[in-house]
Copies of this chain bind each other. A is one copy, B any other.
């Protein structure tokens, strides 16, 4: 059996309450007593039982993170931001993968809530009614990280993907392109269908250009699928001379498809992508990209969650972080 607070109390000839005070840094302890207790703790190798503490205090200092897939660099980077701020505020994180399944998301909410997490950070492609119901009935704060909610106004941290896509498209238009494609990730993802796609269309319409649906291609956001997508795009009689992609991995799929046709980037095709990893920087030519501050998205989400858990006043619960365009080699000068 492990050492308990009782063992320490007996050893130090004080009550368990005093030991508890010492452990919790309560100032109402005479320095001499404190030292005596600390010595015993050291000597016995006492380690407070966080589970008992959690039951008694109703705070577990643990938060839950529900993410589609922690192995994807997008979420891995975001999660690292969460983890670092969590550490800073002395929280542990329980992380679970939903694989974007609504039923799994609901299960995970129940699971994490059952574990009495003090708060939750949720990421998903889109929010289903079932999940919204879970969030409504949860008794702890929830923050959406990089995840959109159009119905309600839950605390969230995002960048303005619509505006970013608009700017990317506009830049391509200004570069003289008439045929600009948008190779997207799945449209089941709000960020793609509702943000990037809409920004793309807004820029085209503003320039008085036609929307050609054959230039809007949905992929599953993987390299292989993107590579295939150029098989379609490249065979168009009037093929695109520029493309915006929803991620750097997709851009590289296009890029290799283009290269295997002996076309060149940026001479024959200009590419601007959303950057989610180191990929954009290490391929040649390097990819001009909207840099998405994934780490910060996670860090700010967690910071926001700490405020909510502390019941602090938060002026703005829907945070929008800045992004920027990094000019590299996939666009002509």
Interface residues of A (CB under 8 A from B): 2, 45, 47-52, 54-55, 60, 62, 69-73, 76-77, 79-80, 83-84, 87, 92-97, 110-116, 137, 139, 223, 249, 252-253, 256, 259, 278-279, 281-284, 295
Contacts and interface: CB of A to CB of B under 8 A. Distances in A.
Given A2-B139, A51-B116, A110-B47, A278 B223 contact: yes
A49 B281 CA distance: 47
Given A51-B54, A92-B111, A282 B223 contact: yes
A278 B249 contact: yes
A138 B62 CA distance: 21
A154 B96 CA distance: 27
Contacts of A62: 94, 115
Nearest to A78: B71
Contacts of A80: 69-71, 97
Contacts of A223: 278, 281-282
Contacts of A87: 96-97
Contacts of A79: 70-71
Nearest to A286: B256
A186 B25 CA distance: 40
How many identical chains are in the complex? 2
A97 B92 CA distance: 11
A51 B47 contact: no
Contact of A114 (B50, B72, B97, B111): B50
A272 to B, nearest CB: 18
Contacts of A47: 110, 113-114
A93 B92 contact: no
A97 to B, nearest CB: 6
A135 to B, nearest CB: 15
A83 B55 contact: no
B94 A49 contact: no
A145 to B, nearest CB: 14
Nearest to A76: B76
A5 to B, nearest CB: 13
A77 to B, nearest CB: 5
A97 B116 contact: no
A97 B115 contact: no
B282 A252 contact: yes
A259 B329 CA distance: 15
